[in-house]
Amino acid sequence: MDEFFKPALDCSMWPEETGCLIDKARSEGLALAWDRLAKQTPQCNFCEMGLSCAKCVMGPCRIIPGLDRNQGVCGADADLTVARNFGRFVAGGSAAHSDHGRDLVEVLYEIGCGSTSAYSIRDEAKLRRLAEEFGLKKDGDIKQVAKTVAERLFADYSTHGPGLAFLGRVPKARRELWDKLSLTPRGIDREPVEMLHRTHMGVDCDPVSLCLHAARTSLSDGWGGSMAGTEISDVIFGTPTPGKTKVNLGVLKKDMVNILVHGHSPVVSEMILAAASDPAILAEATKAGASGVNIAGLCCTGNELLMRRSIPLAGNHMMTELTIVTGAVETIVADYQCIMPSLVNISQCYHTKFVTTSDKAHFPGADTYHFTPHNAGELAKQVVLKAIEAFKKRDPSRVNIPVEPVEVMSGFSNEAILGALGGTPTPLIEAIKAGTVRGAVGVVGCNNPKLKQDEQHVTLTRELIKKDILVLVTGCATSAMGKAGLLVPEGASQAGSNLAGLCRTLGIPPVLHVGSCVDNSRILQLCAVLADAIGVDISALPVAASAPEWYSEKAAAIGLYAVASGITTHLGLPPMILGSPAITSLAVSGLNDVVGAAFIVEPDPVKAGKLLDGHISRKRLALGLSA
């Protein structure tokens, strides 16, 4: 157990810019996530094992299997307690992604109703394709098409809709398996709500039943809310195409007004970006002595802008506090998810404005702007003007931008990937058959202060590409890959000779950036396209997923929908289930017999690479291909 939860507090092991800014923060008397983790360590072993329960006031209870405290007050044992906790954990992640997706559908609806001038349809062809896919009228007035597509997706959020619109993308064998196991999600909102109901005391007391419903809940996210978020974001803001930009703290500019957009949704950040190029606003920046307004991203809002607009990415989850410590950030504009509450206090120690924009994400002490589709354009201008005011108060003696930016290539939507292959998956399938690409792994997810920052992502990925395994990356893994030189075509020099040759021929990196957290749905869709083209279930493909440094409920939901979709998934840290040997065994092996995939938990990235390589070899052999 201990090896999984040992915090990495050895400064010499951090990337250069992290260690440098942690030192600066400490010299300025600021505590960061690593310091707070140290104060929390050792953490509660019952919670780590999933054996504590605070869901009713007969408790809280702590279960000690095998001793006289092997049940809570209600009689729940270790297996049931772990299952209840895990179910709620997954429901939280699924709800977060899916509510994000709903926001995009609501903007699409407002566009369809003609009630917003701030937003429009950038990819009409994709919207019409979606209408056709959903069996709706695809021709005619684009606003009417937008309205009917939005209404169809609203129905997916309800309890008694016609069935999730995107389930038509799921390969037939997988759909039949889900139907047989009662795993087919019935409504995007319904499944997480039912999970909260089932885990109330005295409802579902079967740990296996709860785990299966957790899988159904996660599928309502992956093939429902997240997929809606991705697809409708593409419709409104444009489907990504490959482009080059930069990552790392070095994207901050000493002579410019620096605004960082943070969170997950493109709805606000796209408006901030537009406001920052308004000539009248740029004139104000000049008057303030700045050479312009520099927009850069953090976390998945950053990934959204990186994918579609080639906007630079300043950092990932564990860099968010440190960006403020540079002393060069005028404003952080936050929407929701993965935004540390500590950012408010740290901002107040500098000239930085911390701005919140969502009515569902309030941060006491922040400057609050409630963005809606009706006021977004105007509010975005106000936010940028306030940042220009803040620039006048910047203290140059406190500015330290410790590194140079690193070039990356991004924008690999499925449309871009398949488009580059002539519009069909056939060339990719031929490359897989020939062993040029032995398989593919999605390396996704967060950072966690318990681990050496970025190291798991990068080490695992290097192990995979060395074996001619293509890597697709999303979320906070992205800047780790970028800093390691893996997101440019020259990164092919770190790959095996077959994959390297393909990358050089196509001018692509060995690691393709496919987007943000919700964009893991792109990976699901691509797997489904490949499975259909070969005529197999997704579980037969030589593919896998990995979240080496994950921390969040959303990452647990992603991992579970990947497994329930037939994609074996590696985790660098275990979920809080180890207190139940039965559920742990189900997660790491039993699920293979149920859904044809399971979790691998391995903290060592080199060993994880070997395990995933072995998995891909076995899948290739089963398809009659060379290992």
Q: What Å distances lie between residue 34 and 18, 219, 350, 575, CA to CA?
A: 11, 33, 20, 20
> Could you tell me the smallest distance in angstroms from the CB atom of residue 264 to ligand MSK?
6
User: Of the listed pieces 54-62, 453-461, 507-515, 552-560, which binds ligand MSK according to CB under 6 A?
Assistant: 552-560
Residue environment code for 475-496, b if the CB has 16+ CB neighbours within 10 A, otherwise e: bbbbbbbbbbbbbbbebbebbb
Residues in the chain: 627
Q: Is 552 in the site for ligand MSK (CB under 6 A)?
A: yes
In the Cβ-directed half-sphere of 352, how many Cα atoms lie within 13 Å? 31
Give the span between the Cα atoms of 329 and 78, in whole angstroms: 47
> Could you tell me the smallest distance in angstroms from the CB atom of residue 561 to ligand MSK?
14
Helix 142-157 and helix 78-113, axial crossing angle in degrees, nearest 10:
160
Torsion over CA: 500, 505, 507, 511 (sign) = negative
- List own/partner pairs for 272-275 with CB under 8 A and 24 or more apart: 272/333, 272/380, 272/383, 272/384, 273/305, 273/309, 273/311, 274/377, 274/380, 275/377, 275/380, 275/381, 275/383, 275/384
- Strand ranges (DSSP E) for 299-377? 313-315, 331-334, 353-356, 367-368
State which residue, 192 or 496, has the beta carbon closest to ligand MSK: 192
In the list 333, 338, 481, 502, the residue contacting ligand MSK (rule: CB under 6 A) is 338
* Per-residue DSSP letter, 59: -
Give the span between the Cα atoms of 291 and 216, in whole angstroms: 51
> Could you tell me the smallest distance in angstroms from the CB atom of residue 386 to ligand MSK?
25
Task: Report the Cα 94 to chain-centroid distance in Å.
Answer: 12
> Could you tell me the smallest distance in angstroms from the CB atom of residue 484 to ligand MSK?
17
In the stretch 419-448, what mask flags binding to ligand MSK with x, by CB under 6 A? --------------------------xx--
In the stretch 50-89, what mask flags binding to ligand MSK with x, by CB under 6 A? ----------------------------------------
> Could you tell me the smallest distance in angstroms from the CB atom of residue 336 to ligand MSK?
10
In the stretch 311-330, what mask flags binding to ligand MSK with x, by CB under 6 A? -----xx-------------
Q: Are the beta carbons of 580 and 83 closer than 8 angstroms?
A: yes
In the list 84, 253, 554, 620, the residue contacting ligand MSK (rule: CB under 6 A) is 554
State which residue, 184 or 516, has the beta carbon closest to ligand MSK: 516
> Could you tell me the smallest distance in angstroms from the CB atom of residue 283 to ligand MSK?
34
Q: Is 615 in the site for ligand MSK (CB under 6 A)?
A: no
Token pair recorded at residue 381? 């201008």
The size of the interface with ligand MSK (CB under 6 A), counted in residues, is 15
User: Of the listed pieces 236-244, 246-254, 376-384, 551-559, which binds ligand MSK according to CB under 6 A?
Assistant: 551-559
State which residue, 327 or 445, has the beta carbon closest to ligand MSK: 445
Q: What angle do CA 452, 453, 454 make, to 5 degrees?
A: 115
Token pair recorded at residue 449? 């202060």
Q: What Å distances lie between residue 533 and 428, 429, 536, CA to CA?
A: 11, 8, 8
10 Å Cβ neighbour count for 565? 30
> Could you tell me the smallest distance in angstroms from the CB atom of residue 270 to ligand MSK?
17
Instruction: Map the footprint of ligand MSK across residues 463-482, applying CB under 6 A.
Output: 475-476
User: Of the listed pieces 10-18, 227-235, 266-274, 548-556, which binds ligand MSK according to CB under 6 A?
Assistant: 548-556
DSSP string, 185-253: ---TTHHHHHHHHHTSTTS---HHHHHHHHHHHHHHIIIIIHHHHHHHHHHHH-----EEEEESGGGS-
In the stretch 108-147, what mask flags binding to ligand MSK with x, by CB under 6 A? ----------------------------------------
> Could you tell me the smallest distance in angstroms from the CB atom of residue 572 to ligand MSK?
12
User: Of the listed pieces 127-135, 307-315, 549-557, 598-606, which binds ligand MSK according to CB under 6 A?
Assistant: 549-557
Token pair recorded at residue 106? 């609501």
> Could you tell me the smallest distance in angstroms from the CB atom of residue 479 to ligand MSK?
10
> Could you tell me the smallest distance in angstroms from the CB atom of residue 250 to ligand MSK?
20
User: Of the listed pieces 107-115, 131-139, 536-544, 550-558, which binds ligand MSK according to CB under 6 A?
Assistant: 550-558
In the stretch 263-302, what mask flags binding to ligand MSK with x, by CB under 6 A? -x----------------------------------xx--
> Could you tell me the smallest distance in angstroms from the CB atom of residue 547 to ligand MSK?
8
Write down the residue that tokens 């090896």 correspond to: 3
Q: Is 161 in the site for ligand MSK (CB under 6 A)?
A: no
Give the span between the Cα atoms of 492 and 511, in whole angstroms: 9
DSSP string, 396-430: GGG----S--EEEEE---HHHHHHHTTSSSHHHHH
In the stretch 568-607, what mask flags binding to ligand MSK with x, by CB under 6 A? ----------------------------------------
Interface with ligand MSK (CB under 6 A): 264, 299-300, 316-317, 338, 445-446, 475-476, 516-517, 552, 554-555
